[in-house]
């Protein structure tokens, strides 16, 4: 048997080292677990650019596998399948195309609808050292002050539930988005909901009978409860404001 | 498009909103309905699955189990997340393309469903284009990297999304997609398929 190096994942952490708050990093933790690869997810903060400088990227996830450094969640998934072909994340080109679509849908539609609901809590979850950097870069991205982005009105919830209504229909028909077993597409989708779960207590599903809730619970239980065991902001002792 | 993709000869019979007697035998009241050697299938997704299952030697529409899941995701997304936005933008124009009796039927049923009168919707086009544009953002990102949703060649995923654009194009001159949008080029590729099957129908899009 070939000795495998332990892979290091730089994993965005919040106020507590064990609070892991990046949807993109959650994809990769699930992908590494899917492939039964040995890894260590080390806490990393947004301002610690020099620690991931070898990736030529400015944000996590970044993995170091022996002498190889790879950043960007999609490229990491591709790398893992090419370096470790067994237990593929993409079982075929078709499967990869599907995952790519889910990737785009999640980033262009789902994340922007989750952000207004959880942002207030994300600001509490973020490490104090990262706060200014986070505020500055996100305000530039959103084009307005973060306070104006936060929105927990009924309309904001309704927008999320309307945009995900087709996912509920899909998950009524299949166990995972790609059938009987989970694929990278499930991890991409999971990352978004797990991000919300780690940072916030807001209602991201319509109700308990929502097929997405049932799917998410199933996802949380995968790989020895990897998702389920995650530290959530609400579990941490309350800090003085 | 699916029948053409499979290379199957077919006859398309017109059905009107207010005269559905010709599809009564299917025990439901919506088109499309396919009659294939004595077998009746209604619902576009069920028809695509039927064609794929029955004509396996012909070019694949869905492409195996994974392709079927992918296509279903796109199919549900297009119908539920994109179509309602297109409806709000072009439905008013559809009335000009229907028999007067059908036009009354569509106006009254849709105004009840949407909770707004169609003339008001038409006046709101300027605002309603934005949510439509946001809804197709995943398509835009994907089509920047791939010629078709099916990859190098089109598949049923392309047809199910394209059909929404084709419907809009046939009934309305309203410009849904700007010329410099990657979606516009994809739509042009779709219009050229099967000897211009979709291009060569009466349309309002100039």
State residue A2's pLDDT score. 55
How much of chain A, in percent, has pLDDT values that exceed 90?
Answer: 91
Task: Tell whether A106 and A205 lie within a shared domain.
Answer: yes
* pLDDT tens readout for residues A61-89: 999 999 999 999 999 999 999 999 999 99
B67 close contact with A: CB closer than 8 A: yes
Q: Would the pLDDT of A209 be above 80?
A: yes
Tell whether B10 lies on the interface with A, counting CB pairs under 8 A.
no
**Inter-residue contact A157 to B44 (CB < 8 Å):** no
DSSP for B137-157 reads: HHHHHHHHH-SBTTBSS--HH
Nearest to B67 by CA among B142, B151, B138: B151
Higher pLDDT, B70 or B19: B70
Q: In this structure, are A42 and A156 located in the same domain? A: no
Helices B156-171 and B44-54: angle between axes, nearest 10 degrees: 140
- Whether A91 sits inside 8 A of B70 (CB atoms) is no
Nearest CA in chain A to B143: A101
Q: ipTM of this predicted complex? A: 0.92
Same domain, A226 and A188: yes
Q: Is B74 on the interface with A (CB under 8 A)?
A: yes
What CATH code is carried by the domain that includes residue A200? 1.20.1050.10
Cross-chain Cβ contact B70/A104 below 8 Å:
no
Nearest CB neighbour to A98, from listed B66, B76, B145:
B66
Mean pLDDT within B200-204: 88
Question: Above 60 in pLDDT, residue A241?
Answer: no
Interface with B, mutate which of A74, A78, A95, A101 (most B CBs under 10 A):
A101
Same domain, A40 and A101: no
How far A92 CA sits from the closest chain B CA (Å)? 8
Number of CB pairs < 8 Å for A and B? Answer: 72
Q: What is the model's pLDDT at position A237?
A: 85
Q: Which of B63, B73, B134, B153 to mutate against chain A (most A CBs within 10 Å)? A: B73
B116 — phi, psi (to 5°)?
Answer: -155, 150
What phi, psi does A31 have (nearest 5°)?
-65, -40
Q: What is the pLDDT of residue A198?
A: 98
Q: What's the mean pLDDT in B143-149?
A: 95
Mean of pLDDT over chain A: 95
Residue A37 has pLDDT above 70, yes or no: yes
Identify the weakest region by mean pLDDT among A3-17, A29-43, B44-58: A3-17
Phi, psi of B75 (to 5 degrees): -60, -45
Please indicate, yes or no, whether residues A105 and A203 belong to a single structural domain of this protein: yes
Task: Among A105, A110, A158, A215, pick the best mutation site for testing chain B contact (most B Cβ within 10 A).
Answer: A105
For the cut 70, the answer to whether the pLDDT of residue A239 exceeds it is no
What is the model's pLDDT at position A183? Answer: 93
Asked whether residue A167 falls in the same domain as residue A100, the answer is: yes
**Rounded average pLDDT over B13-34:** 91
Q: What is the pLDDT of residue B36?
A: 97
- Residue B141 exposed, middle or buried by CB count within 10 Å (0-12, 13-18, 19+): middle
Q: Domain total for chain A?
A: 2
Binary contact (A98, B69; C-beta < 8 A) = yes
* Cα–Cα distance for residue pair B158/B37, rounded to 1 Å: 27
Residues B94-132 have pLDDT tens digits of: 998 888 998 999 999 999 999 999 999 999 999 999 999
- The residue of chain B nearest to residue A179, with distances taken between CA atoms, is B69
Q: For position B50, what pLDDT does the model report?
A: 98
A88 lies in some domain: no
Q: Is the pLDDT of residue A127 over 80?
A: yes
Asked if the structure places residue A177 within a domain, the reply is: yes
Q: Do A99 and A178 reside in the same domain of the chain?
A: yes
Residue with tokens 């229909």: A169
Q: How far from B72 is each of A97, A111, B45, CA to CA, in Å? A: 13, 22, 8
Task: State the pLDDT at residue B79.
Answer: 96
Using alpha carbons, select from A7, A18, A13, A17 the residue that is nearest to residue A63.
A7
Partners of A167 on chain B (C-beta within 8 Å) are 76
Chain B residues in contact with A170 by the CB 8 A cut-off are 72-73, 76
How far does the CA of residue B142 sit from the closest CA of chain A (Å)?
Answer: 7
For B90-105, give the DSSP string: HHHHHGGGS-HHHHHH
Q: Is B46 on the interface with A (CB under 8 A)?
A: no
Q: Answer whether residue A241 is part of any domain.
A: no
Q: Which of A108, A165, A178 sits opposite B69 (nearest CB)?
A: A178
Q: Is the pLDDT at A231 greater than 70, yes or no?
A: yes
Task: Among A51, A83, A115, give the residue marking a domain's end.
Answer: A83
Chain A CA closest to residue B78: A166
Per-residue pLDDT at B20: 86
Is residue A163 a part of any domain in this protein? yes
Residue A48, pLDDT above cutoff 60: yes
Is B66 within 8 Å of A177 when comparing Cβ atoms?
no
Assess whether pLDDT exceeds 80 at residue A238.
Answer: no
Partners of residue A104 in chain B, C-beta under 8 Å:
137-138, 141-142
Mean pLDDT to the nearest integer, B86-92: 94
Q: Are residues A72 and A134 in the same domain?
A: no
A138 and A181 in contact (C-beta within 8 Å)?
no
Q: Identify the band that residue A3 occupies on the pLDDT scale cut at 50, 70 and 90.
A: low
Q: Determine the Cα–Cα distance for residues B39 and B26; give it in Å rounded to an integer.
A: 10
Nearest chain A Cα distance for residue B40, angstroms: 23
What's the CA gap between B130 and B85, in Å, rounded?
9
Residue B145 contacts A, CB cutoff 8 Å: yes
Mean pLDDT of A2-10: 83
A179 and B135 within 8 Å at the Cβ level: the answer is no
Is there a contact between A179 and B70 if contact means CB atoms under 8 Å apart? no
- Does B76 reach chain A within 8 Å, measured CB to CB? yes
* pLDDT (mean) for A22-45: 98
Question: Are residue A198 and residue A180 in the same domain, yes or no?
Answer: yes
All residues at 6 or more sequence positions from A88 whose CB lies less than 8 Å from its CB, including other chains: A81
User: Average of pLDDT values for B40-56?
Assistant: 97
Provide the mean pLDDT of chain B.
Answer: 94
Closest CA to B149 of A85, A226, A22, A100: A100
- Test the B interface: residue of A102, A103, A104, A183 with most B CBs within 10 Å: A104
- Looking up residue A27, the CATH number of its domain turns out to be 3.40.30.10
Q: Which of A17-21, A138-142, A233-237 has the lowest mean pLDDT?
A: A233-237
Contacts of A173 in chain B (CB under 8 A): 72
Tens digit of pLDDT for each residue in A94-113?
Answer: 899 999 999 999 999 999 99
pLDDT at A5: 81
In this prediction, residues B24-29 reach a mean pLDDT of 92
Among A83, A107, A122, give the residue marking a domain's end: A83
Task: State which residues form the domain around A32.
Answer: 7-83
């Amino acid at each position: 048997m070939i000795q495998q190096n332990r892979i290091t994942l730089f994993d965005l952490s919040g106020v507590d080292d064990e609070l892991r708050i990046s949807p993109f990093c959650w994809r990769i933790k699930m992908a590494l677990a899917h492939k039964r690869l040995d890894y260590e997810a080390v806490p990393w903060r947004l301002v610690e650019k020099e620690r991931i400088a070898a990736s030529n990227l400015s944000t996590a996830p970044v993995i170091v596998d022996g002498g190889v450094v790879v950043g960007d969640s999609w490229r990491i998934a591709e790398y893992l399948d090419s370096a470790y072909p067994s237990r593929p994340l993409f079982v075929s080109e078709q499967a990869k195309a599907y995952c790519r679509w889910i990737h785009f849908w999640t980033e262009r539609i789902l994340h922007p609808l989750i952000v207004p609901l959880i942002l207030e809590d994300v600001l509490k979850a973020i490490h104090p050292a990262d706060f200014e950097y986070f505020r500055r870069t996100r305000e530039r991205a959103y084009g307005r002050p973060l306070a104006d982005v936060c929105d927990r009105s009924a309309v904001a919830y309704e927008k999320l539930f309307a945009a995900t209504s087709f996912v509920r229909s899909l998950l009524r028909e299949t166990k995972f988005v790609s059938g009987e077993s989970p694929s990278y597409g499930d991890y991409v989708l999971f990352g978004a909901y797990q991000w919300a779960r780690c940072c916030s207590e807001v209602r991201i599903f319509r109700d308990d009978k929502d097929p997405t809730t049932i799917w998410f619970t199933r996802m949380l239980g995968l790989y020895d409860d990897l998702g389920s065991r995650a530290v959530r902001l609400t579990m941490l002792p309350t800090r003085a404001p | 498009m699916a029948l053409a993709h499979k290379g199957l000869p077919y006859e398309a019979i017109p059905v009107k909103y207010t005269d559905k007697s010709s599809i009564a035998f299917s025990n439901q009241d919506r088109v499309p309905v396919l009659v294939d050697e004595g077998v009746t299938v209604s619902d576009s997704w069920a028809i695509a699955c039927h064609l794929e299952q029955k004509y396996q030697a012909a070019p694949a529409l869905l492409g195996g189990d994974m392709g079927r899941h992918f296509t279903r995701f796109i199919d549900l997304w297009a119908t539920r997340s994109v179509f309602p936005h297109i409806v709000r933008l072009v439905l008013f124009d559809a009335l000009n393309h229907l028999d007067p009796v059908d036009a009354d039927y569509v106006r009254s049923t849709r105004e009840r469903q949407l909770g707004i009168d169609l003339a008001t919707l038409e006046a709101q086009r300027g605002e309603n284009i934005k949510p439509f544009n946001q809804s197709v953002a995943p398509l835009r990102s994907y089509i920047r990297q791939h010629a078709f949703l099916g990859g190098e060649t089109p598949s049923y995923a392309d047809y199910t999304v394209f059909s929404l654009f084709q419907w809009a194009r046939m009934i309305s001159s309203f410009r849904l997609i700007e010329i410099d949008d990657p979606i516009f080029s994809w739509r042009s590729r779709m219009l050229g398929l099967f000897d211009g099957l979709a291009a060569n129908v009466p349309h309002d899009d100039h």
